[in-house]
Structure 1
Amino acid sequence: MKKTLLTGILFSTLLLGSNYLHAQIDDKKGIVAKGAELTKVQDGFSFTEGPAINRQGDVFFTDQPNDKIYKWNPNSNQITLFKEGAGRSNGLYFQLDGKLIAAADLNNELWEIDPFTGKEKVLVPSFRSKKLNGPNDIWVRPKGGLYFTDPLYPRPYWEGIRGKESEQDGQHVYFLSADRSELFRVAEDLKQPNGIIGTPDGKTLYVADIGDKKTWKYDIQEDGYLTNKTLFCEMGSDGMTLDDRGNVYLTGKGVTVFNSRGEQIAHIPVPENWTANVTFGALDRRTLFITAMGSVYTLKMKARGVW
């Protein structure tokens, strides 16, 4: 009896295929396109991270352990290699001028990469003459300047004591001014900040404290400082994005979506042990692009991503 039941379940799962996964999507507010199914674009990577969209709708993402940056073309649905020797980049984000900002983990730096030549320039080599923990995720605000998180994740390719202990006095969030003349901390009371995203009007910043399983909301000041720290939801996140309805997308076990009041409205399961990051791709920004372990996925959306 048990064997027959199990066989039936397995057969039904195989028969339904991706429809079986789609049936598990919890979408209370209709943010996913009608009939859309989660699609695996490609696998065979080691650990995908840092998806970032350019003005053409292409998504650049990293395979961090393999030290590479890839590019996904939404028109052809093809993935091509953009850069080898990427400084073990993790998070990525495009500036308005088209330059790609990368959290280059190899030497605990922040890079600027030319999108045509792939040539890099170090923007932030250190803070107060000490190595950063390892810049992780980035958000560039509309008026210029950028925020990045600096958690500590000891890497096997770091040598000596640097691979075990932080040179900084904690794990913080930093702001780099548009003219690159100022670098300062804007949040020093978090346990392990990771995911970060801001609203398109440049007024609000969300920071996920993955170590404390919380996501916080801040008001952004003209000079880059943050005020009015408010608990957004009781969930941390690896990577984050926003849609045009003000919903916030958090990652970890699949993708969990909260409205602007911090209420959960959707959950998108992803058949991997971990979902690292997410963004909206394609020219119309209605394709959710998901990096998860050794694979990348897409899902057609009704909601639209914001620039």
Structure 2
Amino acid sequence: MNTTRRGLLAAAGGLAGASLLGRAAAAQSFPFRPNQRYPDPAVQILDPSFAKYRIFSSTVEQVATGMRWAEGPAYFPDGGYLLCSDIPNNRIMKFNERDGRFTVFREPANYANGNVRDRQGRLVTCEHSVTRRVTRTEKDGTLTVLADRYQGKRLNAPNDVVVRSDETIWFTDPLFGINGEWEGSRATPEQPTTNVYRIGTDGALTAVITDLVNPNGLAFSPDERKLYVVEWRGTPNRSIWSYDVQPDGTVGGKTKLIDAADQGALDGFKVDRDGNLWCGWGSNGALASEPVEMNGRRIYPLRGNPEDLDGVMVFNPQGKALAFIRLPERCANLCFGGPKNNRLYMTSSHSLYALTVEAHGAV
């Protein structure tokens, strides 16, 4: 099912929806303050079926800030904390849910990007540049290298990662971490394609998807029969592809589930217990085709209004847009956490935001 931003605004009520976007943006200017009204107008319902997931008296909160490009959130219930990557600053940050402290967990971190907690409660990290590997942090703090080469050649730039219930580890390997000097160090790729990989319980590394251009976020459906993967450079837009997962760990049945058209851009995402996809959202950075006059200069602005795109888009398992959670910064990734696994944590450019909902993370 192809969903466009134009269609989403229509679903929200046309001009009324656009007006609501403007009011929410005005209410969330910096310095950030939670909206004083309930229900929070930043939570925009695009389909009535989402209403059951909204908590009337819950609002978007900014719980931490000071990063340069926030990514890869992972929640650890035993310790009541969340880890996330601050990629350009080459560090992993730690948010303590119990006392609100935001501290450095690891620095340097080899430009860590995606993080996840495995089934044993250990941290698995995509080291996005320099080392270009996937590691596991053992309970004693030592690092185990899980993957750094495929067929004798170095990986590109491991990006996002998920652990299946059978303890296999799946990760994407685009080029972002070696394309420039912002998220790591520029390097020449050695792999001919940008793949999705599976690390077996025996440590064997297998390329399960090889035909996507810069795969990014990935997640499984609650029953793990579907694998969803973001393609960064889609045809022509960023997309989420759905694959059937076979018992032997291979995938097939490729189907486009979501098309982020009309300036929208997908990034990291998570799935709740009902199979809904909660997706980081923002501008794709595309320039308008014609310049405009501004302060005596002719400039090329971004297409659309990025302020109307920053946040989280929620889709049902069939790819229908259900809701948009408006944020003052572009959301790169998110995860569910909290004592009840219903607190949505959103890594968004410089900051970490949170919203308690009636949905629960699938894992």
Percent identity reads: 31
C-alpha distance in 1, partners of 2:33/2:65? 17
Q: Does 1:306 align with 2:328?
A: no
Equivalent in 315, 321, 330 of residue 258 of structure 1: 315
Select which of 266, 269, 273 maps to 1:240.
269
Aligned pairs for 1:150-189 (under 5 A) are: 150-153=173-176, 154-156=179-181, 163-180=186-203, 182-189=204-211
- TM-score, normalising length: structure 2: 0.75
- 3-state SS, counterpart of residue 35 of structure 2: helix
Corresponding position: 1:131 with 2:154: yes
Distance 1:77-1:227 versus aligned 2 partners, 3 A rule: same
Aligned to 1:18: 34
Distance 1:169 1:109 in 2: 17
Question: Cα RMSD between the aligned structures?
Answer: 2.3
> Is 1:122 aligned to 2:145, yes or no?
yes
Return 5+ residue gaps in structure 2 as ranges: 1-22, 283-310
Q: What is the match of residue 245 of structure 2?
A: 220
Q: Secondary structure at the match of 1:238?
A: strand
Structure 1 residue 24, shift from structure 2 partner: 3.5
Task: Give, as a single letter, the amino acid of the residue that structure 1 aligns with 2:328.
Answer: P
Q: CA deviation at 1:120?
A: 1.5
Select the residue among 69, 76, 89 that pairs with 1:54.
76
Aligned to 1:110: 134
Query: Distance in 2 between the 1:62 and 1:140 partners?
Result: 18
Equivalent pairs counted in the alignment come to 292
Structure 1 residues 257, 14: closer, same or farther in 2, change over 3 A? closer
Determine whether 1:271 maps to 2:287. Answer: no
Distance 2:127 2:42 in 1: 36
Q: Give the conservation status (yes or no) of the 8 Å contact 1:138–1:148.
A: yes
Which TM-score applies when normalising by structure 1? 0.88
SS at match of 2:211: coil
Q: Is the 2:28–2:328 contact (alpha carbons within 8 Å) kept by the matching residues of 1?
A: no
Secondary structure of 1:205's partner? strand
Partner of 2:299: none
Please state how far the C-alpha of 1:73 moved relative to its aligned partner.
Answer: 2.6
Distance 1:143 1:81 in 2: 31
CA contact (8 A) 1:278 1:289 kept: yes
Provide structure 1 residue ranges, at least 5 long, that are not aligned to the other structure. Answer: 1-8
The alignment status of 1:283 with 2:307, answered yes or no, reads: no
Moved more, 250-259 or 21-30: 21-30
Match for residue 45 of structure 1 among 64, 67, 71: 67
8 A contact 2:160–2:218 mirrored in 1: yes
**Is the counterpart of residue 201 in structure 1 residue 223 in structure 2?**
yes
Q: Where in structure 1 do 4 or more consecutive aligned residues deviate above 6 Å? A: none
3-state DSSP class of the match of 1:239?
A: strand
Residue range with higher mean Cα deviation, 63-72 or 150-159: 150-159
> More displaced, 199-208 or 142-151?
199-208
> Would the aligned equivalents of 1:142 and 1:200 in 2 still touch at CA under 8 Å?
no
Does residue 294 of structure 1 match 2:354?
A: no
Give the drift of 1:164: 5.0
CA distance in 1, matches of 2:348, 2:140: 27
Q: Matched residues in 2 for 1:242 and 1:177: separation?
A: 22
Q: Which amino acid counterpart does residue 246 of structure 1 have in structure 2?
A: G
- Over residues 177-216 of structure 1, what are the superposed CA-to-partner deviations in whole Å (9 max), with x where a residue is unaligned? 0121x21111111112100011233222110112111101
Q: How far, CA to CA, are the matches of 2:28 and 2:111 in structure 1?
A: 37
Query: Deviation per CA, 1:202-236, whole angstroms, max 9, x where unpaired?
Result: 22211011211110111112221111111111125
Q: Does 1:70 align with 2:70?
A: no
